[in-house]
Amino acid sequence: MISYQPLWDTLKEKGVTQYQLINNYGVSAGQLSRLRANSNISTHTVDVLCEILECKVEDVLLHVPNKTLR
């Protein structure tokens, strides 16, 4: 499973709000909704977030192993 918890931590650390992502950077509310639900997003969205936040991919997402697949 992919978790976007690192994104929320990075936003807080950088002092960037979800409101700013939408209004200043053009991130859609739908994308933020998918991120909050840990749903699928495109690598383009990950790239955009990394550019906005000047961070690494691991500052946006984390892979959490799914034990039921083993």
Q: What is the CATH number of the domain that holds 55?
A: 1.10.260.40
Span 1-34, pLDDT tens digits? 999 999 999 999 999 999 999 999 999 999 999 9
Which pLDDT band, with edges at 50, 70 and 90, does 69 fall under? low
Per the DSSP assignment, residues forming a β-bridge with 63 are 2
How many domains, in total, are found in the chain? Answer: 1
For residue 15, the enclosing domain spans 2-69
Instruction: Report, in angstroms and rounded to the nearest whole number, the Rg of the chain calculated over CA atoms.
Output: 12
pLDDT computed for residue 50 by the predictor: 98
Cite the beta strand spans of the chain per DSSP E: 2-3, 62-63
Q: Could you tell me which of 32, 34, 40 has the C-alpha nearest to residue 2? A: 40
What is the pTM assigned to this prediction? 0.89
pLDDT score of 36 more than 60: yes
